[in-house]
Amino acid sequence: QSVLTQPPSVSAAPGQKVTISCSGSSSNIGQNYVFWYQQFPGTAPKLLIYDNNKRPSGIPDRFSGSKSGTSAILGITGLQTGDEADYYCGTWDSSLSAVVFGGGTKLTVL
């Protein structure tokens, strides 16, 4: 049981937009920055978004992040088949004194 809640899967057609939600509580998302990772099968996670909405160098602006209250959203526009991957949200939980993650969302580009 993950501390952060993500939908197990989302899907959309190429070129479309998709959003992935990440729900937490006042002790984690509510008071700390959120980050997002992208993970392809058999590979290490890759940082997509940090500090709620910042993109590391090299991450296209098709990827965006936002946070409101105790929830965060990852948005992906102009979907490509190469975006098919698992996406994880994460943050610090001040009550647990631990980094916590969502259970991951599998993106399918139909």
* Interface ranges with another protein (CB under 8 A): 2, 32-33, 35, 37, 43-47, 50-51, 56, 88, 90-92, 96-104
Q: Which of 11, 5, 17 is nearest to 79 (CA)?
A: 17
Structure tokens at 70: 């105790």
Q: Which helix (H) or strand (E) holds 23?
A: strand 18-23
Bridge partners (DSSP) of residue 36 are: 49, 89
Which C-beta is closer to another protein: that of 12 or that of 47? 47
Rounded to 10 degrees, the C-alpha dihedral 5/106/88/83 comes to: -140
Q: How far is the CB of 32 from another protein (least distance, A)?
A: 7
Which residue, 17 or 43, has its beta carbon nearer to another protein? 43
Least gap, CB of 92 to another protein (angstroms):
5
Smaller CB distance to another protein: residue 55 or 71? Answer: 55
